[in-house]
Amino acid sequence: MKRFATLLVILACAVGMVSAQQKVGAYTTLEEPLAKELFDLFQKETGIQVNWQRLAGGEAESRLEAEKANPQASIWVGGVGLNHMSAKIKGLTTPYKSKMLANTPAEYRDTENYWIGLYLGPLSFITNNKIAKEQGLVPPKSWADLLKPEYKGKIRMPNPTTSGTAYNMVTTLRYVFNGDEEKVFDYLQKLDKNIDQYTKSGSAPGKSVAIGEIPIAVGYAHDQVKLRVEGADVTITIPSEGTGFEIASMSLVKGGPDAVNAKKLYDWILQPAAQAIIAKWYVVPLSKLATKNPVAFSMTEVKTVKQNLTWDAGNKERLLARWIKEIGSKR
């Protein structure tokens, strides 16, 4: 009887260990429907449950920093690459050389394998055609256009302290102004007069335009194309001076509690089934295993600025502190 009881205890421990292994905690900056489709399919195919939470890019980075001594997630999926680069600098993520690595061009992944790019997305403007017509507005076609007095209180954009999208816009302007930060912040102060509010996430302003809350917003083209495909009467324009773009990326969390399953999810996201799901969302996929949605913008039709992502990530804290001091704190 004693031996039988001991066997039961051992069996219970083994079952508990297996059960504990069949989960992984994830932070994601992907849109919720996309994240759900991805993680549900992963669970269906592997039996591993993904306990995920959707956060804006800046939020995810801040959460990882706050939890550095006791990480609650093991993988971070999606979000502007600049946030992933910044997280690397802060020691929040850990390198991983995936078996699927070679399918992604070297220029879109970290040389030390701390992060890997999933897709590209250029910054663009979105205008609600009905509201613009009613208010006598013409869709903006350049960064300079956004400063026009007729747009006062009619533009919505994300907050760079919480949104990687908005920080990407700040760094883009630095390249537009040939590295002159004084011109950048002079521009941002003038633009602030035309901003009705700064949102927490990068995709929120475009959604507000789609439902007619505000005439104009700044965001990523793929989010805006999706809104148009779903029926929103909008015009999408790429700034004529040149635009920046995100490298939406993926990283493993340093010290994450579910490291083994996080690596399984990481590898799986780089495989064809997951890549096909990502490509449906009108992005420019980076893996050679994925095919771009024909409705999505092609990077060959977009004039881009030449970004130095290492510099952008390394100066993030300084630039955001200045934005808060000169703009954010005065609203």
pLDDT digits (tens, 9 = 90+) for 154-175: 999 999 999 999 999 999 999 9
Helix, strand and coil in the chain, % to nearest 5 = 45, 20, 35
In the predicted structure, residue 190 carries a pLDDT above the cut 50: yes
pLDDT digits (tens, 9 = 90+) for 304-329: 999 999 999 999 999 999 999 999 99
b/e 224-233 (16+ beta carbons within 10 angstroms → b)? bbbbbeeebe
Burial zone of 277 (CB within 10 Å; 0-12 exposed, 13-18 middle, 19+ buried): middle
Residue 6 has pLDDT above 70, yes or no: no
Q: How many whole angstroms separate alpha carbon 275 and alpha carbon 184?
A: 36
Q: In what helix (H) or strand (E) does residue 44 lie, and over which residues does it extend?
A: helix 32-46
In this prediction, residue 21 has a pLDDT band, given cuts at 50, 70 and 90, of low
**What does the pLDDT look like over 64-107, one tens digit per residue?**
999 999 999 999 999 999 999 999 999 999 999 999 999 999 99
- Confirm if 314 and 147 have CB atoms less than 8 A apart: no
Residue 230: C-alpha distances to residues 17, 210, 288 (Å): 45, 10, 27
Cα 93 from chain centroid?
16
Write down the pTM of the prediction.
0.86
Residue 1 has which token pair? 């009887």
- At 287, the pLDDT band (50, 70, 90 cuts) reads very high
Q: Enumerate the H helices of 159-202 as residue ranges.
A: 164-176, 181-192
Categorize the per-residue pLDDT at 3 as very low, low, confident or very high, splitting at 50, 70 and 90.
low
Tokens representing residue 107 in the block: 């220029």
- Mean pLDDT (the chain) is 93
Distance CA 295, CA 286 (A): 16
CA separation for the pair 25, 261 (Å, rounded) = 9
Three-state DSSP state, 198:
strand
The pLDDT tens digits of the residues spanning 118-132 come to 999 999 999 999 999
Cα 294 from Cα 282, distance rounded (Å): 8
Q: Model confidence over 192-215: pLDDT tens digits?
A: 999 999 999 999 999 999 999 999
Q: How many CA atoms lie within 13 A of 82 on its CB side?
A: 33
